[in-house]
Structure 1
Amino acid sequence: MKATLNNVFALGILALACQTAYGKTIEYTTDIAVVGGGSVGLAAAVTGAEAGAKVIVVEKNPYLGGSSNFAEGLFAVESDYQRAKSYGLTRDQAYEHIMEYSHFKNDGAIEREFVDESADNLRWLNKHGVDFEVVQISPKEPETWHLIKNREHFVHGAALVTALQEHAEKDGVQFLMRTPANTLIYENGKVTGVKAKDHKGNDIVIHAKAVIIGTGGFGNSPEKIDKWTHFDGKDFKPTLPLNKTGDGIEMGREIGAAHEGETLMLHPGTDGKGIIPLGNIYTMTWQPANMWVNAHGNRFVDETVAFSFAHAGNAIGRQKGHYAWAIFDDAELQHAKNDGVDNGVGVLVPVMTKLKNIDTEIKNALAANSESFKSASSIEQLAKAIDVPVANLKHAYDSYNLAATTHYDEAFNKDRMWTRPLNHGRLYAVKLMPYHFTSVGGLRINTQMSVVNTDDNPIKGLYAGGNDVGGIYSDTYTLWASGHAFGFATYSGRKAAQNALEYIKTGK
């Protein structure tokens, strides 16, 4: 009896394994197939469904939203929120600045349409239950960042994601979760669907009249970062593990799509033994009154670059070893504890947040002998602790304190407001490393969000948006236009669906 039961159990396990390894082929037919359930995909799905189209969304993760769940605000110009505050930045001014910032390496026609329609994009989201508050993210950016207001218990990006999800479900959009797409169906010069595999091992074949790609980039693939950008995928780390591995871009490239502009949205950060992600020590890496030095013990930049996180990531990333050190003293420590920080980490750690746990975190990091946090009673001792030449660091330190005293930073012209002497009590050093929020750049598109081939001809039936497309930025994210990536994601998803509907109707 026992042997029989064992045999039955073994057969059951074998059957389950066979079902997983040799799953069925399941076929669907739809008007629009959307690859990726983030803000691109949700905006596209809602737009398509509201127009009467049948829409299927395939999402590789067990949840919707992707990185949009953690994003905070959207770019817009001449919005109702700005108008209510009598804020005068115009679309023309914003467009001109963005183009000059990008050195005209972006697609001017796509950028123009996005800027011009950015306020309408917010109005569309308003109608779908998303509300905003316009804020200025730092002294170096204009007031274009429209922070998403919480919905019930959903915060920021998650509030937008859940609002669009509710509308999509109400309008009959079908979601296939834990189902990563892997191949576009490309026949007779046009895309007619997509293939995927679900978590049970079933092969999913979706026959569609149009396909929209919005898989969120390739930021969690060190291999693609190495292959597609000039960055080292080992040293330039993603902020969050969101399974963004460039699937949509890869599928497009496999059928001859052109690509351009692959890079990373960098920012400063730190990690190491005893250091809490986005904790108090981490937040000190974003503060403008620190002194930054590289592996040689030399200053290399005006440290107020911390206000522009993408620029700060660039400055750190180009140093030897792709790292630097931020140095501060007890006076800055007390300032952060009692008065609050001068530069927030988005709204996760708002400006003027008081770092009440900093003493405990410092104690724990030092007790762990953290490789990324050191303290000393003199600059000479600190130089030894962070392994930089003593003479170089002493010179940088003395010169910096002189600049603070004379109110003039001859080396890098740092604003005297942020050049404060570092000669109060103990000194601290936290290692600065380049992280990235997301990748940007990918498939080349036109103003209809249609993916084009290497001859710049549209690939019929294929559209893309968000961080899967190129031509939107140059080598650095357009931080001046705060919220640009999130705003463009929802805009491009809607635009792609509108043009996919027209293509389905007319064949053009």
Structure 2
Amino acid sequence: MLMHHNIPFIPPACERGEQYSAEEARSREAGDVQIRGGNMELTRRNFLRFGAAGAAVAGVSALAGCSPKAEAPAESTTDSAATGDDWLGSAPELTVDDCTQTVETEVLVVGSALAGSMAAYGALKNGAKVTVIERNCCPHIGGMTISVFNSKMQKDAGLPMYDEVEIANKMYKNCQYRGDMTLYSAWINRSGEIFDQLKEDFIDPYEQYCVPASLEGIFPDPTQEVSEYISTGIAFDKTDILTEFTHKFHQFLEDQGVETHYDTCAEVLIKDDSGRVTGLIATNKDGEKVHYVASKGVVMCTGSFGSNEKMMYRFYPSKYAKWALENNSYWAYMGEDPVSVLECDDGLGHRMLCWAGAEMEDICGWAAWQSTGWRSFPYLMVNTKGKRFMNECTSLLTSSHIIADQPGGVNYLWQIIPSNDFEMPSSFGYTKEAAEEMFKMSEAEHYEADTLEELAEMIDVPAENLVATVERYNEMCNEGHDLDYHKALRYLDAIDDPPYQAWKMQYFFYCTLSGVRCNDKLQVLDAEHEPIPGLYAGGNTVGYRFGSGYESLLHGGSNGLAATHGYIAGESAALGI
């Protein structure tokens, strides 16, 4: 089955927050979630009352409610001068003498998300006895799509088979020449083969939803677009919460003999006298210290450090670090699983690796996402000052730093939309009808008024700025040339048909995409770029995969790299590489 242009980035269906009347909106300060004032009759000119996350904090609170054990992180307690210089800290003073249990295995995988699952699979396929430890009570994976290069399934569906050199070079350039080309090559060289094997072993026998996602042809003229995509995505679910896929994958692994120890938190890696990593010490749910002995190696797949304040200030500009900590939505993909997200996002795995001699990437990437509003429909967007500030076609996954840099430090903008019959195309390929069904657009916070001045009052932006912005925008639309941000002609729609609408669009930080230096076998390297024997990594624990932020060329790119690198890490450990 070939799916055309209808695989969006889908957030959880629990983004319901406060409802405001127009009168209430007039009385609140920009970005303030404390609403004052009374109600008024809701007419066509007034606020179209639908649920939405209110301002930055309200949006975060609404998302936190999606997961039974999820807790929203407290606002940063560190002032703007924070540097995070002491981010690493010291390894806990634990020895095997502190342990009451010993577990012996050949390959120990730390973390049960996508990279960890694939690491266990890679080690299993290469004959190793495998044990997985996970600090939560269940696994979790976010993102419905995994990027795969030239698999048999994609070829059979009639999708293009891409040139290896072309795609490797595009990835390198789109990541600001900061990535490690050998890591891209590992994905290019192995992902298709690994996926075809996984499909035969697990996906088909366990009846998993799986379709190639085509993004071919969504741009009539790709040279006029900000973003570019290639059809490398395989969709594994119809939502961005891969609960069934995740749990079935672990069922498959356990059916094949993999042991999984949940509620078990790794604390410190152990080396022998030669410097080889031989295992680690972990704490189980009863508070007991467990010595895990891994005769062939340890694979660290421990994810993001997005809730670690010191690490965020160390590896990101302070202004963005503060914004990201206040708008961290890492828990958004946990679904109904009782996952303690603030713990699994704390960077402990990165620090364990560095305590063992690894070297962190100095320029770190991040992923973000967008909630509410007409996502990927590039209507005119304005900030809290009523001014335009970006090309509206910029990818939602890559633009949170632009939002964070706007006045007020809020996490939202306003889309200004006229009432006309112009069919605004999506910059990601789906229809407005599909967007309404999937994103529940009508439930997003939006306002309507007969004049721009009235609309400005409703959304609390300076009326003179909004009017001037719209006049300038209309002039360029009518001339068919966006001189300010060079948005493609096919998206230019003058705001000249009242009543006018304003839709709130919120942005959130999701996770970090950076970590320690590894080679193409996913061996962890020390400061001299030499492998640390017995130590491997996968997923968001691996550094040098992205530049300063997520790169959207690959559909499901982060998951694609995580899956392939995780498999190779497990394979390398099993083979003693």
**What TM-score comes out, normalization by structure 1 length?**
0.79
Counterpart of 1:185, as a letter, is I
What is the DSSP-based 3-state SS (H/G/I as helix, E as strand, rest coil) of the residue aligned with 2:381? Answer: strand
1:295 to 378, 384, 389: 384
Structure 2 unpaired stretches of 5+ = 1-97, 204-209, 220-226, 333-340
Number of the residue aligned with 1:247: 348
Q: Could you tell me whether the CA contact under 8 Å between 2:126 and 2:575 is conserved in 1?
A: no
Number of the residue aligned with 2:13: none
Q: Does 1:342 align with 2:426?
A: yes
How far residue 72 of structure 1 moved from its aligned partner, in angstroms, is 1.1
How far residue 341 of structure 1 moved from its aligned partner, in angstroms, is 8.1
1:71 to 115, 120, 143: 143
Number of the residue aligned with 1:43: 118
How far residue 265 of structure 1 moved from its aligned partner, in angstroms, is 0.8
Closer, same or farther: CA 146–185 of 1 in aligned 2, 3 Å: same
CA displacement, residues 346-401 of structure 1 (integer Å, 9 cap, x when unaligned): 99x99554489655x36xx5xxxxxxx55543222333444433322211111112
Number of the residue aligned with 1:234: 325
Q: Could you tell me whether the CA contact under 8 Å between 1:25 and 1:204 is conserved in 2?
A: yes
What is the DSSP-based 3-state SS (H/G/I as helix, E as strand, rest coil) of the residue aligned with 2:179? Answer: coil
Q: Take 1:490 and 1:304, find their aligned partners in 2: how far apart are those partners? A: 29
Closer, same or farther: CA 247–350 of 1 in aligned 2, 3 Å: farther
Relative contact order higher in (CA < 8 Å, ≥ 6 apart): 2
Structure 1 unpaired stretches of 5+ = 1-22, 270-281, 366-372
Listed as ranges, the matches of 1:22-101 within 5 Å are 25-64=100-139, 66=140, 68=141, 70-84=142-156, 85-101=158-174
Counterpart of 2:360, as a letter, is H
Q: Take 2:433 and 2:539, find their aligned partners in 1: how far apart are those partners? A: 26
Q: Could you tell me whether the CA contact under 8 Å between 2:99 and 2:291 is conserved in 1?
A: no
Q: Could you tell me whether the CA contact under 8 Å between 1:451 and 1:462 is conserved in 2?
A: yes
Listed as ranges, the matches of 1:164-243 within 5 Å are 164-188=249-273, 189-209=275-295, 210-230=297-317, 231-232=321-322, 233-240=324-331, 242=341, 243=344
Counterpart of 1:267, as a letter, is W
Counterpart of 2:271, as a letter, is Y
How far residue 251 of structure 1 moved from its aligned partner, in angstroms, is 0.7
How far residue 155 of structure 1 moved from its aligned partner, in angstroms, is 8.4
How far residue 486 of structure 1 moved from its aligned partner, in angstroms, is 0.8
Q: Take 2:437 and 2:277, find their aligned partners in 1: how far apart are those partners? A: 54
Closer, same or farther: CA 346–111 of 1 in aligned 2, 3 Å: farther
What is the DSSP-based 3-state SS (H/G/I as helix, E as strand, rest coil) of the residue aligned with 1:129? Answer: helix
Counterpart of 2:290, as a letter, is I
Number of the residue aligned with 1:142: 229
Q: Take 1:155 and 1:381, find their aligned partners in 2: how far apart are those partners? A: 37
Closer, same or farther: CA 393–283 of 1 in aligned 2, 3 Å: closer
What is the DSSP-based 3-state SS (H/G/I as helix, E as strand, rest coil) of the residue aligned with 1:42? Answer: helix
Counterpart of 2:252, as a letter, is H
Counterpart of 2:151, as a letter, is S
Number of the residue aligned with 1:395: 468
Q: Could you tell me whether the CA contact under 8 Å between 1:268 and 1:316 is conserved in 2?
A: no
Q: Does 1:329 align with 2:417?
A: yes
Q: Take 2:236 and 2:560, find their aligned partners in 1: how far apart are those partners? A: 15
Listed as ranges, the matches of 1:103-502 within 5 Å are 103-130=176-203, 131-136=210-215, 139=219, 140-149=227-236, 157-188=242-273, 189-209=275-295, 210-230=297-317, 231-232=321-322, 233-240=324-331, 242=341, 243-260=344-361, 261-269=363-371, 282-284=372-374, 286-305=375-394, 308-323=395-410, 324-329=412-417, 331=419, 342=426, 351-354=434-437, 358-359=441-442, 361=443, 374-502=447-575
Counterpart of 1:208, as a letter, is A
How far residue 432 of structure 1 moved from its aligned partner, in angstroms, is 4.0
Counterpart of 2:125, as a letter, is E
CA displacement, residues 94-120 of structure 1 (integer Å, 9 cap, x when unaligned): 111111112221111221222222211
What is the DSSP-based 3-state SS (H/G/I as helix, E as strand, rest coil) of the residue aligned with 2:267? Answer: strand
Q: Take 2:399 and 2:433, find their aligned partners in 1: how far apart are those partners? A: 18
CA-atom RMSD in angstroms: 3.0
Counterpart of 2:100, as a letter, is T
Counterpart of 1:299, as a letter, is R
CA displacement, residues 255-283 of structure 1 (integer Å, 9 cap, x when unaligned): 221010423112333xxxxxxxxxxxx14
Closer, same or farther: CA 432–149 of 1 in aligned 2, 3 Å: closer
Identify the structure with the greater strand proportion.
1
Counterpart of 2:565, as a letter, is S
How far residue 464 of structure 1 moved from its aligned partner, in angstroms, is 0.3
Closer, same or farther: CA 356–492 of 1 in aligned 2, 3 Å: closer
Give the length in aligned residue pairs.
447
How far residue 190 of structure 1 moved from its aligned partner, in angstroms, is 1.8
Counterpart of 1:263, as a letter, is G
Q: Could you tell me whether the CA contact under 8 Å between 2:327 and 2:508 is conserved in 1?
A: yes
Q: Could you tell me whether the CA contact under 8 Å between 1:218 and 1:439 is conserved in 2?
A: yes
Q: Take 2:433 and 2:519, find their aligned partners in 1: how far apart are those partners? A: 37
Q: Take 2:191 and 2:123, find their aligned partners in 1: how far apart are those partners? A: 19
What is the DSSP-based 3-state SS (H/G/I as helix, E as strand, rest coil) of the residue aligned with 2:464? Answer: helix
Q: Could you tell me whether the CA contact under 8 Å between 2:135 and 2:264 is conserved in 1?
A: yes
What is the DSSP-based 3-state SS (H/G/I as helix, E as strand, rest coil) of the residue aligned with 1:480? Answer: coil
CA displacement, residues 223-268 of structure 1 (integer Å, 9 cap, x when unaligned): 5323332222434422525332222111111222101042311233
Q: Take 2:257 and 2:449, find their aligned partners in 1: how far apart are those partners? A: 62
**What TM-score comes out, normalization by structure 2 length?**
0.71
Identify the structure with the greater helix proportion.
1
Closer, same or farther: CA 357–115 of 1 in aligned 2, 3 Å: closer
What is the DSSP-based 3-state SS (H/G/I as helix, E as strand, rest coil) of the residue aligned with 1:420? Answer: coil
Closer, same or farther: CA 35–414 of 1 in aligned 2, 3 Å: same
Q: Take 2:566 and 2:292, find their aligned partners in 1: how far apart are those partners? A: 19
Q: Could you tell me whether the CA contact under 8 Å between 1:328 and 1:427 is conserved in 2?
A: yes
How far residue 145 of structure 1 moved from its aligned partner, in angstroms, is 3.7
What is the DSSP-based 3-state SS (H/G/I as helix, E as strand, rest coil) of the residue aligned with 2:512? Answer: strand
